[in-house]
Structure 1
Amino acid sequence: MTWLIFSFLSAFTFSVVTVMDKVIISKHVSSAKVFILGLGITQTAMGFYVFPWLISHYPLIPSLIAVLSGIVCGIYLIIMFMAMESHDVSRLIPVVSTYPIFVAFLSYVFLGESIGVYVWLSIILTVSGAVMVSLGPSQSGRPSTSMLLMVLLFFASMCFGLSQFLAKIIVDDMELWPQFMLRGLGVGIASFFVIFFPGVKTGFIQLVKTPKSFLLFFFSEGVLAFAAIAFFYFAIYAGEVYLVSTVMSSRPVFVFFLGIILSLPFIKILSERLEGKALYIRAIGTFITVAGVSGVALL
Protein backbone atom coordinates (compact mmCIF):
# COMPACT_ATOMS: atom_id res chain seq x y z
CA MET A 1 0.00 0.00 0.00
CA THR A 2 3.00 2.27 -0.44
CA TRP A 3 1.32 3.93 -3.43
CA LEU A 4 -1.70 4.80 -1.26
CA ILE A 5 0.39 6.55 1.40
CA PHE A 6 2.32 8.59 -1.15
CA SER A 7 -0.90 9.42 -3.03
CA PHE A 8 -2.52 10.86 0.09
CA LEU A 9 0.66 12.73 0.98
CA SER A 10 0.71 14.22 -2.52
CA ALA A 11 -2.98 15.17 -2.37
CA PHE A 12 -2.62 16.86 1.02
CA THR A 13 0.58 18.68 0.13
CA PHE A 14 -0.88 19.86 -3.18
CA SER A 15 -3.92 21.18 -1.30
CA VAL A 16 -1.69 23.27 0.97
CA VAL A 17 0.21 24.52 -2.09
CA THR A 18 -3.07 25.40 -3.82
CA VAL A 19 -4.35 27.46 -0.91
CA MET A 20 -1.00 29.23 -0.50
CA ASP A 21 -0.92 29.96 -4.24
CA LYS A 22 -4.39 31.53 -4.00
CA VAL A 23 -3.13 33.81 -1.22
CA ILE A 24 -0.03 34.73 -3.23
CA ILE A 25 -2.00 35.47 -6.40
CA SER A 26 -4.56 37.53 -4.47
CA LYS A 27 -2.22 39.53 -2.24
CA HIS A 28 1.44 39.26 -3.24
CA VAL A 29 1.72 39.54 -7.04
CA SER A 30 0.29 42.05 -9.48
CA SER A 31 -1.34 39.39 -11.68
CA ALA A 32 -1.65 35.66 -12.21
CA LYS A 33 0.71 35.96 -15.20
CA VAL A 34 3.50 37.13 -12.88
CA PHE A 35 2.88 34.08 -10.72
CA ILE A 36 2.92 31.79 -13.78
CA LEU A 37 6.30 33.19 -14.87
CA GLY A 38 7.69 32.52 -11.40
CA LEU A 39 6.18 29.05 -11.54
CA GLY A 40 7.91 28.29 -14.84
CA ILE A 41 11.28 29.43 -13.51
CA THR A 42 10.86 27.50 -10.26
CA GLN A 43 9.69 24.30 -11.95
CA THR A 44 12.61 24.39 -14.38
CA ALA A 45 15.09 24.89 -11.54
CA MET A 46 13.38 22.35 -9.30
CA GLY A 47 14.55 19.38 -11.35
CA PHE A 48 18.15 20.19 -10.53
CA TYR A 49 17.66 19.94 -6.77
CA VAL A 50 18.70 16.28 -6.80
CA PHE A 51 21.54 16.47 -9.33
CA PRO A 52 19.86 14.26 -11.96
CA TRP A 53 22.70 14.90 -14.39
CA LEU A 54 24.71 12.34 -12.36
CA ILE A 55 22.36 9.73 -13.85
CA SER A 56 23.38 9.07 -17.43
CA HIS A 57 20.41 7.01 -18.68
CA TYR A 58 18.28 9.38 -20.80
CA PRO A 59 16.68 7.37 -23.65
CA LEU A 60 15.41 9.70 -26.37
CA ILE A 61 11.74 8.73 -26.71
CA PRO A 62 11.02 8.46 -22.96
CA SER A 63 12.85 11.77 -22.44
CA LEU A 64 10.63 13.48 -25.02
CA ILE A 65 7.55 11.94 -23.40
CA ALA A 66 8.68 13.25 -20.01
CA VAL A 67 9.03 16.77 -21.43
CA LEU A 68 5.61 16.45 -23.10
CA SER A 69 4.16 15.36 -19.77
CA GLY A 70 5.48 18.59 -18.28
CA ILE A 71 4.12 20.73 -21.13
CA VAL A 72 0.56 19.42 -20.81
CA CYS A 73 0.83 19.75 -17.03
CA GLY A 74 1.94 23.35 -17.59
CA ILE A 75 -1.19 24.00 -19.68
CA TYR A 76 -3.28 22.66 -16.79
CA LEU A 77 -1.49 24.93 -14.31
CA ILE A 78 -1.82 28.03 -16.51
CA ILE A 79 -5.58 27.60 -16.90
CA MET A 80 -6.03 26.91 -13.19
CA PHE A 81 -4.00 29.88 -12.00
CA MET A 82 -5.58 32.30 -14.46
CA ALA A 83 -9.00 31.21 -13.18
CA MET A 84 -7.82 31.34 -9.57
CA GLU A 85 -7.15 35.06 -9.94
CA SER A 86 -10.87 35.86 -9.85
CA HIS A 87 -12.66 32.74 -8.55
CA ASP A 88 -12.98 30.86 -5.27
CA VAL A 89 -10.25 28.23 -5.02
CA SER A 90 -12.63 25.70 -3.44
CA ARG A 91 -14.85 25.94 -6.55
CA LEU A 92 -12.06 25.46 -9.07
CA ILE A 93 -10.10 22.56 -7.62
CA PRO A 94 -12.96 20.02 -7.62
CA VAL A 95 -13.66 20.64 -11.31
CA VAL A 96 -10.02 20.18 -12.31
CA SER A 97 -9.94 17.05 -10.15
CA THR A 98 -12.20 15.07 -12.48
CA TYR A 99 -9.17 13.69 -14.32
CA PRO A 100 -9.23 10.15 -12.80
CA ILE A 101 -11.92 9.06 -15.27
CA PHE A 102 -9.70 10.15 -18.16
CA VAL A 103 -6.65 8.46 -16.61
CA ALA A 104 -8.59 5.26 -15.99
CA PHE A 105 -9.81 5.18 -19.59
CA LEU A 106 -6.29 5.68 -20.97
CA SER A 107 -4.88 3.06 -18.59
CA TYR A 108 -7.55 0.56 -19.58
CA VAL A 109 -7.11 1.12 -23.34
CA PHE A 110 -3.34 1.57 -23.65
CA LEU A 111 -1.77 -0.04 -20.58
CA GLY A 112 -4.12 -2.98 -20.26
CA GLU A 113 -4.67 -2.29 -16.56
CA SER A 114 -7.56 -4.36 -15.20
CA ILE A 115 -10.29 -2.10 -13.82
CA GLY A 116 -13.25 -3.83 -12.21
CA VAL A 117 -16.83 -2.57 -12.14
CA TYR A 118 -16.64 -1.59 -8.48
CA VAL A 119 -13.46 0.41 -9.08
CA TRP A 120 -15.16 2.25 -11.96
CA LEU A 121 -18.09 3.03 -9.64
CA SER A 122 -15.69 4.27 -6.97
CA ILE A 123 -13.93 6.50 -9.50
CA ILE A 124 -17.24 7.98 -10.65
CA LEU A 125 -18.31 8.44 -7.01
CA THR A 126 -15.06 10.24 -6.18
CA VAL A 127 -15.33 12.60 -9.13
CA SER A 128 -19.03 13.27 -8.49
CA GLY A 129 -18.32 14.19 -4.90
CA ALA A 130 -15.46 16.43 -5.95
CA VAL A 131 -17.73 18.31 -8.35
CA MET A 132 -20.39 18.72 -5.63
CA VAL A 133 -17.81 20.37 -3.38
CA SER A 134 -17.42 23.06 -6.04
CA LEU A 135 -21.14 23.91 -6.17
CA GLY A 136 -22.92 26.66 -4.32
CA PRO A 137 -22.85 30.46 -4.49
CA SER A 138 -19.64 32.37 -5.00
CA GLN A 139 -18.36 35.14 -2.74
CA SER A 140 -20.74 37.54 -4.47
CA GLY A 141 -23.65 35.13 -4.06
CA ARG A 142 -23.95 34.55 -7.80
CA PRO A 143 -22.81 31.59 -9.89
CA SER A 144 -19.20 32.21 -10.85
CA THR A 145 -18.50 29.47 -13.35
CA SER A 146 -19.49 30.35 -16.91
CA MET A 147 -19.86 27.68 -19.55
CA LEU A 148 -16.57 28.76 -21.15
CA LEU A 149 -14.78 28.55 -17.82
CA MET A 150 -16.23 25.11 -17.12
CA VAL A 151 -15.05 23.89 -20.54
CA LEU A 152 -11.57 25.30 -19.90
CA LEU A 153 -11.42 23.72 -16.45
CA PHE A 154 -12.45 20.32 -17.78
CA PHE A 155 -9.85 20.69 -20.54
CA ALA A 156 -7.27 21.52 -17.87
CA SER A 157 -8.33 18.42 -15.96
CA MET A 158 -7.83 16.29 -19.08
CA CYS A 159 -4.36 17.81 -19.52
CA PHE A 160 -3.46 16.91 -15.94
CA GLY A 161 -4.74 13.38 -16.46
CA LEU A 162 -2.76 13.04 -19.70
CA SER A 163 0.34 14.31 -17.89
CA GLN A 164 -0.02 11.60 -15.25
CA PHE A 165 -0.63 8.93 -17.87
CA LEU A 166 2.46 9.95 -19.86
CA ALA A 167 4.53 9.89 -16.69
CA LYS A 168 3.37 6.34 -15.95
CA ILE A 169 4.07 4.82 -19.38
CA ILE A 170 7.80 5.54 -19.11
CA VAL A 171 8.45 4.34 -15.55
CA ASP A 172 10.09 1.17 -16.88
CA ASP A 173 12.34 3.11 -19.27
CA MET A 174 13.48 6.04 -17.14
CA GLU A 175 14.50 6.50 -13.53
CA LEU A 176 12.38 8.69 -11.30
CA TRP A 177 14.58 11.76 -10.84
CA PRO A 178 15.53 12.25 -14.50
CA GLN A 179 11.83 12.14 -15.36
CA PHE A 180 11.19 14.60 -12.54
CA MET A 181 13.72 17.03 -14.03
CA LEU A 182 12.44 16.76 -17.61
CA ARG A 183 8.86 17.24 -16.45
CA GLY A 184 9.90 20.48 -14.76
CA LEU A 185 11.55 21.60 -17.98
CA GLY A 186 8.29 20.93 -19.83
CA VAL A 187 6.29 23.01 -17.34
CA GLY A 188 8.81 25.81 -17.80
CA ILE A 189 8.48 25.68 -21.59
CA ALA A 190 4.69 26.00 -21.31
CA SER A 191 4.86 28.82 -18.76
CA PHE A 192 7.52 31.14 -20.15
CA PHE A 193 5.27 32.61 -22.87
CA VAL A 194 3.66 34.94 -20.31
CA ILE A 195 6.89 36.95 -20.17
CA PHE A 196 5.76 38.72 -23.36
CA PHE A 197 2.67 40.22 -21.69
CA PRO A 198 2.97 43.85 -20.52
CA GLY A 199 4.08 44.32 -16.93
CA VAL A 200 4.97 40.68 -16.28
CA LYS A 201 8.74 41.14 -16.11
CA THR A 202 8.35 44.22 -13.93
CA GLY A 203 5.91 42.39 -11.68
CA PHE A 204 8.24 39.43 -11.28
CA ILE A 205 11.19 41.68 -10.42
CA GLN A 206 8.99 43.36 -7.81
CA LEU A 207 8.11 39.94 -6.38
CA VAL A 208 11.78 39.02 -6.05
CA LYS A 209 12.55 42.36 -4.40
CA THR A 210 9.82 41.92 -1.78
CA PRO A 211 11.28 39.53 0.84
CA LYS A 212 8.00 38.47 2.49
CA SER A 213 6.25 37.77 -0.81
CA PHE A 214 9.24 36.03 -2.37
CA LEU A 215 9.84 33.79 0.66
CA LEU A 216 6.17 32.79 0.68
CA PHE A 217 6.30 32.08 -3.05
CA PHE A 218 9.52 30.07 -2.75
CA PHE A 219 8.21 28.05 0.20
CA SER A 220 5.04 27.18 -1.73
CA GLU A 221 6.45 26.54 -5.21
CA GLY A 222 10.06 25.66 -4.40
CA VAL A 223 9.63 23.51 -1.28
CA LEU A 224 6.07 22.23 -0.84
CA ALA A 225 5.42 21.77 -4.57
CA PHE A 226 8.70 19.86 -4.85
CA ALA A 227 7.54 17.50 -2.09
CA ALA A 228 4.05 17.10 -3.59
CA ILE A 229 5.40 16.23 -7.05
CA ALA A 230 7.98 13.86 -5.56
CA PHE A 231 5.24 12.07 -3.59
CA PHE A 232 3.27 11.70 -6.84
CA TYR A 233 6.23 10.11 -8.63
CA PHE A 234 6.91 7.78 -5.69
CA ALA A 235 3.25 6.72 -5.94
CA ILE A 236 3.15 5.99 -9.69
CA TYR A 237 6.46 4.13 -9.53
CA ALA A 238 4.89 1.92 -6.84
CA GLY A 239 1.33 1.43 -8.10
CA GLU A 240 -1.25 1.71 -10.87
CA VAL A 241 -1.66 5.25 -12.17
CA TYR A 242 -5.47 5.17 -12.25
CA LEU A 243 -5.53 4.28 -8.54
CA VAL A 244 -3.01 7.00 -7.72
CA SER A 245 -4.93 9.63 -9.67
CA THR A 246 -8.21 8.70 -7.99
CA VAL A 247 -6.78 8.98 -4.49
CA MET A 248 -5.10 12.26 -5.43
CA SER A 249 -8.46 13.62 -6.56
CA SER A 250 -9.35 13.81 -2.87
CA ARG A 251 -7.46 17.13 -2.89
CA PRO A 252 -10.75 19.15 -3.00
CA VAL A 253 -11.63 17.73 0.42
CA PHE A 254 -8.42 19.10 1.93
CA VAL A 255 -8.88 22.40 0.10
CA PHE A 256 -12.46 22.57 1.39
CA PHE A 257 -11.43 22.24 5.04
CA LEU A 258 -8.43 24.54 4.65
CA GLY A 259 -10.74 27.09 3.03
CA ILE A 260 -13.10 26.91 6.01
CA ILE A 261 -10.29 27.37 8.51
CA LEU A 262 -8.60 30.23 6.66
CA SER A 263 -11.93 32.01 6.09
CA LEU A 264 -12.86 32.11 9.78
CA PRO A 265 -13.48 35.69 10.99
CA PHE A 266 -10.49 35.72 13.35
CA ILE A 267 -8.15 34.45 10.60
CA LYS A 268 -9.67 35.86 7.39
CA ILE A 269 -6.79 34.96 5.10
CA LEU A 270 -9.28 33.76 2.50
CA SER A 271 -12.81 34.98 1.77
CA GLU A 272 -14.53 31.75 0.82
CA ARG A 273 -18.30 31.90 1.28
CA LEU A 274 -19.30 28.82 3.26
CA GLU A 275 -22.78 29.45 4.58
CA GLY A 276 -26.15 27.75 4.38
CA LYS A 277 -26.81 25.74 1.24
CA ALA A 278 -23.24 26.12 -0.05
CA LEU A 279 -21.79 24.56 3.09
CA TYR A 280 -24.43 21.81 3.09
CA ILE A 281 -23.80 20.80 -0.52
CA ARG A 282 -20.02 20.89 -0.14
CA ALA A 283 -20.22 18.79 3.05
CA ILE A 284 -22.21 16.10 1.20
CA GLY A 285 -19.74 16.24 -1.69
CA THR A 286 -16.88 15.81 0.76
CA PHE A 287 -18.49 12.69 2.24
CA ILE A 288 -19.09 11.22 -1.23
CA THR A 289 -15.49 11.93 -2.25
CA VAL A 290 -14.15 10.21 0.85
CA ALA A 291 -16.43 7.22 0.19
CA GLY A 292 -15.22 6.95 -3.40
CA VAL A 293 -11.55 7.14 -2.44
CA SER A 294 -12.11 4.55 0.29
CA GLY A 295 -13.67 2.26 -2.30
CA VAL A 296 -10.64 2.55 -4.57
CA ALA A 297 -8.27 1.95 -1.67
CA LEU A 298 -10.08 -1.12 -0.34
CA LEU A 299 -11.10 -2.90 -3.57
Structure 2
Amino acid sequence: MPSDTLDAPAVPAAPPGGPDPAAWRIVPRRRTGQWAAAAVLLVLLVLALASVVRNPAFQWGVVADYFLTSAVLRGLGLTLWLTAVVMALGFGLGTLLAVLRLAGNPVLRAVGRGYVWLFRSVPILVQLLFWFNIGALYPVILGVRTVNLLSPVAVAVIGLTLHEAAYAAEVVRAGILSVGAGQVEAAQALGLGAGRRLRRIVLPQAMRAILPPAGNMLIGTLKGTSIVSVIAVQDLLYSVQLVYHRTYQVIPLLLVATLWYVLVTSVLGVGQHYLERRYARGTAGAR
Protein backbone atom coordinates (compact mmCIF):
# COMPACT_ATOMS: atom_id res chain seq x y z
CA MET A 1 0.00 0.00 0.00
CA PRO A 2 1.44 3.46 -0.86
CA SER A 3 2.76 5.50 2.04
CA ASP A 4 0.70 8.58 1.12
CA THR A 5 -2.44 6.51 1.64
CA LEU A 6 -1.32 5.64 5.16
CA ASP A 7 -0.46 9.27 6.02
CA ALA A 8 -3.69 10.83 4.70
CA PRO A 9 -6.09 12.04 7.44
CA ALA A 10 -9.24 10.04 7.83
CA VAL A 11 -12.40 11.77 6.65
CA PRO A 12 -15.43 10.97 8.76
CA ALA A 13 -18.01 9.04 6.84
CA ALA A 14 -21.38 10.64 6.29
CA PRO A 15 -24.23 8.94 8.13
CA PRO A 16 -26.85 7.37 5.87
CA GLY A 17 -29.09 10.11 4.56
CA GLY A 18 -27.13 12.81 6.46
CA PRO A 19 -25.08 15.82 5.21
CA ASP A 20 -21.67 15.41 3.69
CA PRO A 21 -18.92 16.34 6.28
CA ALA A 22 -16.90 17.99 3.52
CA ALA A 23 -19.69 20.53 3.12
CA TRP A 24 -19.69 21.53 6.80
CA ARG A 25 -19.12 25.27 7.30
CA ILE A 26 -17.15 26.71 10.26
CA VAL A 27 -18.99 29.69 11.74
CA PRO A 28 -16.84 32.11 13.76
CA ARG A 29 -17.97 32.90 17.27
CA ARG A 30 -19.98 36.09 17.52
CA ARG A 31 -18.53 38.59 20.00
CA THR A 32 -21.60 40.74 20.54
CA GLY A 33 -20.36 42.26 23.80
CA GLN A 34 -17.09 43.45 22.29
CA TRP A 35 -18.79 45.02 19.30
CA ALA A 36 -21.32 46.77 21.55
CA ALA A 37 -18.53 48.14 23.75
CA ALA A 38 -16.61 49.31 20.66
CA ALA A 39 -19.70 51.09 19.34
CA VAL A 40 -20.27 52.86 22.67
CA LEU A 41 -16.62 53.95 22.85
CA LEU A 42 -16.73 55.19 19.25
CA VAL A 43 -19.84 57.28 19.97
CA LEU A 44 -18.25 58.76 23.11
CA LEU A 45 -15.08 59.58 21.17
CA VAL A 46 -17.04 61.36 18.43
CA LEU A 47 -18.99 63.35 21.01
CA ALA A 48 -15.78 64.35 22.82
CA LEU A 49 -14.12 65.48 19.58
CA ALA A 50 -17.23 67.40 18.56
CA SER A 51 -17.30 69.20 21.91
CA VAL A 52 -13.65 70.20 21.53
CA VAL A 53 -14.05 71.42 17.95
CA ARG A 54 -17.30 73.29 18.54
CA ASN A 55 -16.37 74.84 21.90
CA PRO A 56 -15.60 78.55 21.27
CA ALA A 57 -13.50 78.72 24.44
CA PHE A 58 -10.67 76.88 22.66
CA GLN A 59 -10.37 79.79 20.18
CA TRP A 60 -9.21 77.71 17.23
CA GLY A 61 -8.81 80.81 15.11
CA VAL A 62 -6.17 82.12 17.51
CA VAL A 63 -4.49 78.70 17.47
CA ALA A 64 -4.24 78.86 13.68
CA ASP A 65 -2.87 82.41 13.82
CA TYR A 66 0.01 81.50 16.16
CA PHE A 67 0.73 77.94 15.05
CA LEU A 68 3.42 78.90 12.49
CA THR A 69 4.65 82.18 13.94
CA SER A 70 8.42 82.73 14.07
CA ALA A 71 8.52 82.80 17.88
CA VAL A 72 6.82 79.42 18.15
CA LEU A 73 8.98 77.87 15.42
CA ARG A 74 12.16 79.14 17.10
CA GLY A 75 11.04 77.56 20.36
CA LEU A 76 10.22 74.33 18.54
CA GLY A 77 13.66 74.31 16.90
CA LEU A 78 15.39 74.72 20.27
CA THR A 79 13.25 71.93 21.73
CA LEU A 80 14.20 69.55 18.91
CA TRP A 81 17.89 70.52 19.14
CA LEU A 82 17.90 70.05 22.91
CA THR A 83 16.21 66.66 22.58
CA ALA A 84 18.73 65.43 20.00
CA VAL A 85 21.77 66.63 21.95
CA VAL A 86 20.55 65.25 25.28
CA MET A 87 19.67 61.85 23.78
CA ALA A 88 23.03 61.53 22.01
CA LEU A 89 25.09 62.57 25.03
CA GLY A 90 22.85 60.73 27.48
CA PHE A 91 23.04 57.41 25.66
CA GLY A 92 26.78 57.83 25.10
CA LEU A 93 27.36 58.32 28.81
CA GLY A 94 24.72 55.71 29.63
CA THR A 95 26.50 53.08 27.52
CA LEU A 96 29.73 53.78 29.41
CA LEU A 97 27.90 53.47 32.72
CA ALA A 98 26.30 50.19 31.61
CA VAL A 99 29.74 48.81 30.78
CA LEU A 100 30.97 49.90 34.21
CA ARG A 101 28.05 48.18 35.90
CA LEU A 102 28.87 44.94 34.07
CA ALA A 103 32.63 45.18 34.64
CA GLY A 104 34.49 42.58 36.66
CA ASN A 105 36.12 45.22 38.85
CA PRO A 106 34.03 45.87 42.00
CA VAL A 107 35.13 49.53 42.16
CA LEU A 108 33.94 50.21 38.62
CA ARG A 109 30.66 48.43 39.35
CA ALA A 110 30.17 50.51 42.49
CA VAL A 111 30.84 53.76 40.59
CA GLY A 112 28.28 52.87 37.91
CA ARG A 113 25.71 51.74 40.46
CA GLY A 114 26.25 54.85 42.59
CA TYR A 115 25.77 57.20 39.63
CA VAL A 116 22.53 55.52 38.60
CA TRP A 117 21.27 55.56 42.20
CA LEU A 118 22.06 59.25 42.73
CA PHE A 119 20.70 60.72 39.50
CA ARG A 120 17.57 58.57 39.54
CA SER A 121 16.88 59.65 43.13
CA VAL A 122 17.07 63.43 42.64
CA PRO A 123 14.19 65.08 40.70
CA ILE A 124 15.26 66.64 37.41
CA LEU A 125 13.92 70.04 38.45
CA VAL A 126 16.15 70.01 41.55
CA GLN A 127 19.15 69.03 39.42
CA LEU A 128 18.52 71.90 37.02
CA LEU A 129 18.22 74.39 39.86
CA PHE A 130 21.48 73.14 41.40
CA TRP A 131 23.33 73.58 38.11
CA PHE A 132 21.68 76.95 37.53
CA ASN A 133 23.00 78.12 40.94
CA ILE A 134 26.44 76.53 40.61
CA GLY A 135 28.01 79.96 41.14
CA ALA A 136 26.53 80.15 44.63
CA LEU A 137 27.72 76.64 45.49
CA TYR A 138 31.24 76.91 44.02
CA PRO A 139 32.16 80.54 43.25
CA VAL A 140 35.59 79.51 41.92
CA ILE A 141 36.60 76.20 40.29
CA LEU A 142 40.23 75.73 39.24
CA GLY A 143 40.77 79.47 39.39
CA VAL A 144 37.77 80.23 37.15
CA ARG A 145 34.84 82.24 38.51
CA THR A 146 31.68 80.27 37.92
CA VAL A 147 29.25 83.18 38.25
CA ASN A 148 27.44 83.49 34.89
CA LEU A 149 29.80 80.87 33.46
CA LEU A 150 26.97 78.62 32.28
CA SER A 151 24.17 79.96 30.13
CA PRO A 152 20.62 78.65 30.70
CA VAL A 153 20.92 76.46 27.58
CA ALA A 154 24.21 74.96 28.82
CA VAL A 155 22.63 74.30 32.20
CA ALA A 156 19.71 72.56 30.46
CA VAL A 157 22.05 70.36 28.40
CA ILE A 158 24.17 69.38 31.41
CA GLY A 159 21.26 68.72 33.75
CA LEU A 160 19.14 66.78 31.27
CA THR A 161 22.11 64.76 29.99
CA LEU A 162 23.24 63.64 33.43
CA HIS A 163 19.67 62.73 34.33
CA GLU A 164 19.07 60.90 31.05
CA ALA A 165 22.32 58.93 31.32
CA ALA A 166 21.18 57.26 34.53
CA TYR A 167 18.10 55.81 32.82
CA ALA A 168 19.91 55.07 29.56
CA ALA A 169 22.49 53.03 31.52
CA GLU A 170 19.79 50.67 32.76
CA VAL A 171 18.24 50.37 29.30
CA VAL A 172 21.59 49.51 27.70
CA ARG A 173 22.52 47.14 30.53
CA ALA A 174 19.24 45.25 30.12
CA GLY A 175 19.85 45.02 26.37
CA ILE A 176 23.37 43.67 26.87
CA LEU A 177 22.14 41.08 29.37
CA SER A 178 19.52 39.92 26.85
CA VAL A 179 22.28 38.63 24.53
CA GLY A 180 22.99 34.97 25.09
CA ALA A 181 26.24 34.06 26.81
CA GLY A 182 27.04 31.66 23.96
CA GLN A 183 27.41 34.61 21.57
CA VAL A 184 30.06 36.20 23.77
CA GLU A 185 31.85 32.89 24.27
CA ALA A 186 31.93 32.30 20.51
CA ALA A 187 33.40 35.77 19.97
CA GLN A 188 36.03 35.07 22.64
CA ALA A 189 36.90 31.79 20.90
CA LEU A 190 37.50 33.77 17.70
CA GLY A 191 39.98 35.98 19.55
CA LEU A 192 37.94 39.19 19.48
CA GLY A 193 38.86 41.73 22.13
CA ALA A 194 36.37 43.10 24.64
CA GLY A 195 35.81 46.33 22.70
CA ARG A 196 35.19 44.56 19.39
CA ARG A 197 32.92 42.01 21.07
CA LEU A 198 30.82 44.84 22.45
CA ARG A 199 30.66 46.77 19.15
CA ARG A 200 30.37 43.93 16.65
CA ILE A 201 28.55 41.16 18.54
CA VAL A 202 26.75 42.33 21.66
CA LEU A 203 25.32 45.77 20.83
CA PRO A 204 23.84 44.86 17.39
CA GLN A 205 21.90 42.00 18.98
CA ALA A 206 21.04 44.03 22.07
CA MET A 207 19.37 46.69 19.93
CA ARG A 208 16.19 44.58 19.73
CA ALA A 209 15.79 44.95 23.50
CA ILE A 210 17.14 48.52 23.67
CA LEU A 211 15.03 50.19 20.98
CA PRO A 212 11.53 50.02 22.53
CA PRO A 213 12.49 51.64 25.87
CA ALA A 214 14.91 53.98 24.09
CA GLY A 215 12.08 55.17 21.85
CA ASN A 216 9.95 55.82 24.91
CA MET A 217 12.84 57.73 26.48
CA LEU A 218 13.21 59.84 23.33
CA ILE A 219 9.55 60.83 23.42
CA GLY A 220 9.75 61.41 27.17
CA THR A 221 12.82 63.60 26.71
CA LEU A 222 11.08 65.65 24.03
CA LYS A 223 8.20 66.38 26.39
CA GLY A 224 10.49 66.64 29.41
CA THR A 225 12.46 69.50 27.87
CA SER A 226 9.49 71.70 28.72
CA ILE A 227 10.79 71.76 32.30
CA VAL A 228 13.71 73.96 31.23
CA SER A 229 11.25 76.82 30.93
CA VAL A 230 11.73 77.34 34.69
CA ILE A 231 15.30 78.52 34.03
CA ALA A 232 14.22 80.80 31.16
CA VAL A 233 15.34 78.60 28.28
CA GLN A 234 13.21 79.66 25.32
CA ASP A 235 11.97 76.24 24.27
CA LEU A 236 8.53 75.63 22.79
CA LEU A 237 6.63 75.98 26.05
CA TYR A 238 8.51 79.09 27.19
CA SER A 239 7.95 80.70 23.79
CA VAL A 240 4.18 80.33 24.00
CA GLN A 241 4.29 81.49 27.61
CA LEU A 242 5.95 84.70 26.52
CA VAL A 243 3.14 85.25 24.03
CA TYR A 244 0.22 84.56 26.36
CA HIS A 245 1.76 86.68 29.13
CA ARG A 246 1.43 89.55 26.65
CA THR A 247 -1.92 88.68 25.05
CA TYR A 248 -3.62 86.80 27.95
CA GLN A 249 -4.78 84.13 25.49
CA VAL A 250 -3.62 81.23 27.66
CA ILE A 251 -5.75 78.36 26.37
CA PRO A 252 -5.14 78.78 22.60
CA LEU A 253 -1.38 79.27 23.11
CA LEU A 254 -1.17 76.16 25.25
CA LEU A 255 -3.05 74.34 22.48
CA VAL A 256 -0.40 75.51 20.00
CA ALA A 257 2.33 73.92 22.12
CA THR A 258 0.22 70.80 22.67
CA LEU A 259 -0.43 70.28 18.95
CA TRP A 260 3.27 70.63 18.14
CA TYR A 261 4.21 68.11 20.84
CA VAL A 262 1.58 65.68 19.54
CA LEU A 263 2.76 66.11 15.94
CA VAL A 264 6.44 65.59 16.70
CA THR A 265 5.88 62.63 19.04
CA SER A 266 3.69 60.99 16.39
CA VAL A 267 6.48 61.29 13.83
CA LEU A 268 8.99 59.89 16.34
CA GLY A 269 6.61 57.02 17.08
CA VAL A 270 6.46 56.09 13.39
CA GLY A 271 10.26 56.20 13.16
CA GLN A 272 10.55 54.00 16.24
CA HIS A 273 8.16 51.47 14.70
CA TYR A 274 10.23 51.07 11.54
CA LEU A 275 13.52 50.90 13.47
CA GLU A 276 12.12 48.14 15.64
CA ARG A 277 11.00 46.25 12.53
CA ARG A 278 14.49 46.60 11.05
CA TYR A 279 16.26 45.15 14.10
CA ALA A 280 13.59 42.48 14.65
CA ARG A 281 14.01 40.93 11.19
CA GLY A 282 13.99 37.18 11.40
CA THR A 283 12.22 37.12 14.78
CA ALA A 284 8.64 36.91 15.97
CA GLY A 285 8.61 40.67 16.58
CA ALA A 286 9.15 41.54 12.88
CA ARG A 287 5.68 42.84 12.06
Report the TM-score when normalising by structure 2: 0.28
Larger Rg belongs to: 2
User: Which structure would you say has the larger RCO, counting Cα contacts within 8 Å and 6 or more residues apart?
Assistant: 1
